[in-house]
Amino acid sequence: MNFDIRFDYERKNRIGIIEAIWGEDKNIKQLHNVAQQVLDKNEIVFITRIDKVKSKSLLKRYPNGKFYEEARCLIIGENINKVLTTKKVAIVSGGTSDLSVSLEAKLTLETYGINTKMFIDVGVAGIHRLLDVLDEVNKFDVIIVCAGMEGALATVLGGLLSQPIIAVPVSVGYGVSKGGETALKSMLSSCAPGISVMNIDNGYGAAIAAFRIIKRSLLDT
């Protein structure tokens, strides 16, 4: 059966954010159709959770697109509505196993013109690694924390730094940590007040939350 995909073109006018396309549960034909619809409106195509096979098919038709394999994202076109700001976001992750989610967040923010820097492999199992970069992380306006296993990294940073902290539980680990649920519950029950928590592996959502904070702060200056 064929179903029309109703892309939310008005989202940009309402909230300043372009609708992203979820690639994981759409077939190649659906992705081709929605990509063409979006491009016909002169909008950027931003697809998340897309694999190499689907990306290869799309890039045959849209050779100007780019597939970011580690982030599992594909972009066709350019966002002409980037913000002009000196504010920046730190993306801090517990280990290289969190890289895919961290890169999804980084790519999303950079699409909107936000400067980012990643701090990789600074998990609490080697807390000295985090302390080595803490002063630099403290220079950023918003902090995204991606961590699996027990997800303690967000609590540690939430107790040390004053910036808005957006925590993303990552589905890496084994045993009771498998699937990211332990990290999610740990972050939700953090004793560090004021941490915002995304759903498991939602790097895109964390990036948009950071973008909203930055956009609001620009209106207040």
pLDDT digits (tens, 9 = 90+) for 130-152: 999 999 999 999 999 999 998 89
What is the Cα–Cα distance from 51 to 71, expressed in whole angstroms? 10
List C-alpha distances in Å: 201 to 7, 78, 84, 126.
Answer: 23, 25, 28, 23
What is the Cα–Cα distance from 199 to 189, expressed in whole angstroms? 14
The answer to whether 170 and 148 have CB atoms below 8 angstroms apart is yes
What is the Cα–Cα distance from 56 to 71, expressed in whole angstroms? 15
Local confidence pLDDT in tens for the 221 residues of the chain: 555 677 777 787 788 888 889 999 899 999 999 999 889 888 899 999 999 999 999 999 999 999 999 999 999 998 877 888 899 999 999 888 888 999 999 999 999 999 999 999 988 888 999 999 999 999 999 999 999 998 899 999 999 999 999 999 999 888 888 899 999 999 999 999 999 999 999 999 999 999 999 988 877 66
Cα 85 → chain centroid: 19
Q: Give the neighbor-by-neighbor strand order of the sheet with 88-93.
A: 115-119, 88-93, 142-147, 165-169, 196-197
pTM: 0.91
Average per-residue pLDDT for the chain: 91
What is the Cα–Cα distance from 23 to 48, expressed in whole angstroms? 6
What is the pLDDT at residue 172?
87
For helices 52-61 and 28-40, give the axis angle rounded to 10 degrees: 40
Reading the block at residue 3, the tokens are 């179903």
